[in-house]
Amino acid sequence: MIHLDTHVVAWLYAGDLTGTLAPVVDVLEREDLAVSPMVELELEYLHEIGRLVPTGRVVLDDLAARVGLQRRDIGFSEAVAVAAGLHWTRDPFDRLIVASAIVDGVALLTRDEMLLKKFDGAVWDGRRRRRTRR
């Protein structure tokens, strides 16, 4: 299983894999795909400001049907406790999305440079795949 960052979910929803690195496509095809509940909230924010036409729920429901995307039911208190220790970002979405992957014990597929640099469990090109412990 691998968690997906919000931009990966939006990109996957759009369905355009053109120009995507082969290792990323391989991860998407090989792994069970999951998201933190915070991804749905961030997608909703993007919808509200006009950067995403469908709502977060519509996007996740569609991907659940098309690619088997799972919404992980991570305990909020546990995720917040882990997120509180992630001092390298002030973005509450990034903190809770990373914390959810940590709590779930899986990697996070993201192309966010800061997450790739600061979070050992972040992967994009398929080479930096490590389990992250709390």
Question: Given a cut of 60, is residue 101 above it in pLDDT?
Answer: yes
Q: How many CB atoms lie within 10 A of CB 62?
A: 15
For the stretch 18-32, pLDDT in tens is: 666 787 888 888 999
For the stretch 29-74, pLDDT in tens is: 899 999 999 999 999 999 999 999 999 999 999 999 999 999 998 8
Beta-ladder partners of 2: 33, 107
Burial of 49 by CB count in 10 Å (0-12 exposed, 13-18 middle, 19+ buried)?
Answer: exposed
Q: Are 26 and 20 in contact (CB under 8 A)?
A: no
Domains and CATH numbers, the chain: 2-123 (3.40.50.1010)
CA–CA distance, 74 with 71 (Å, rounded to integer)? 9
pTM, full prediction: 0.90
* CA neighbor of 11 nearest in space, from 67, 93, 49: 67
